Amino acid sequence: MARRHRQAACARRQDGLGRGRKLGPGIVQALDSLPHGLCLFDSADRLLFVSDGFRRLFGPPANRIRPGMHARAVGAASAAGAVPADRDPCGLWAARRLLARGATDAVVQTLADGRQVAITLHPQAGGGWTALWEDVTERRRAESLLRYMAHHDPLTGLPNRHLFAARLDRTLADLDGAPCALLCLDLDGFKPVNDRHGHAVGDALLRHLAERLRAALGAGDCAARLGGDEFTILLGDAAPAPALGFALRLQARLAEPYDLGTGSPIRIGAAIGVACAPLHATRAEALVERADAAMYAAKRLGHPYLWDDALDLGPVGPGAAAPT
C-alpha cells in the first residue's frame, strides 16, 4: 500500500497540474518567498510550477502563466518587447537551447522597461529542468560604474592614463599608413590659482578646462587627464601641419578667461608639445617621449611646438637605439 502511495505521489508531481498537488505547502511557501522568479518544467518543456516571485518580477503578463503551458509560452510572458519568444536571443527559450547542449550559463534579458534579468537553467533528474530569473539591473549598473571609474579620471570624467595608453597602443597598431598625432599639455599658472583660491576652485578650473578639451575634439580624437595639471590628446588621422594648427587653436581657447565665481576671471596658459606617427615614432613609448620633449620646448618658447631633430633625445635606455 505504501509503495502504491509513493508511486501515485510521483505521478501527481509529474502531471503538471495544480501547485498544491506537486509540492507540499511548506515547500511552496518557501519557494514563493524567494526574491527571484522560479519555474519548474518537465522533460517535455511543460510548466509544473511557477513561483510568486516570477509574478512579482513580470507583473500582469505573468498572471497568464498556468501549469501545463509550454516553455515557449512562458517565455512570451517575459519577452523584452515585440521579439517572438522563440527568437529572442536572450530569452527563456534561448537559454533552453543552451541547456540542451549542456551549457548552464546565464543569459541576460533586457526587459521593455529597461530592467535586466539573468535567466539561469539547471537540469533535473528525469529530463526536467528549473529556470531562475534574477533582477540584476542594479548589480550590472554597479559593475558598469566600477569599470568606468577604473578607466576614467574621477574629477573631469576624461579617460585616465591607463585607458589612454590602451587607446594609443591600439591606434599605433592599426596605423595602416594613416598618420596620427599625440599632444602633451601642461598647464601654466595652475598652481597659483590653487594657492590663492583653494582646491575647490582649482578643481572647478580643471573641470571647465576638460569641457573645452572635449569640445575641441573630433570624432576620432581622445583626450585624457594624466594627473595633476597634465593632459594629453590623441588626434586620429592628423598629419604634422594640421596637428600643429589644432594645437595653436587649442592653446588660444584654453587661455580664454574662466568665470568660476571668484570675483574676477581666471586665466591660465598651456604648453603643448606635438609628435606624429609614423613620422616621428611608431612605438607608444617613443612617441610619448618626443611629444613630452616638444612640450618642454613649448614652455620655453610660449607657443605649441612640433617635435624636430633639434630635440633629439638620443637612446631611450642603456644600450638602446634611438626611439622609432
Residues carrying an active site annotation: 229
HEC assignment per residue over 12-38: HHHCCCCHHHHCCHHHHHHHHCCCCEE
> In angstroms, rounded to a whole number, what is the distance separating the alpha carbons of residues 101 and 212?
53
Q: Supply angle C-alpha 39, 41, 44, rounded to 5.
A: 155
| CA proximity to 229, closest of 295, 308, 313, 286 | 295
User: Scanning the structure block, which residue is given the C-alpha cell 539561469?
Assistant: 120
State the burial class of residue 52 (Cβ atoms within 10 Å of its Cβ: 0-12, 13-18, 19+): middle
| Strand intervals (E) in the chain | 37-41, 47-50, 107-110, 116-123, 129-135, 180-188, 222-227, 230-236, 269-277, 305-306
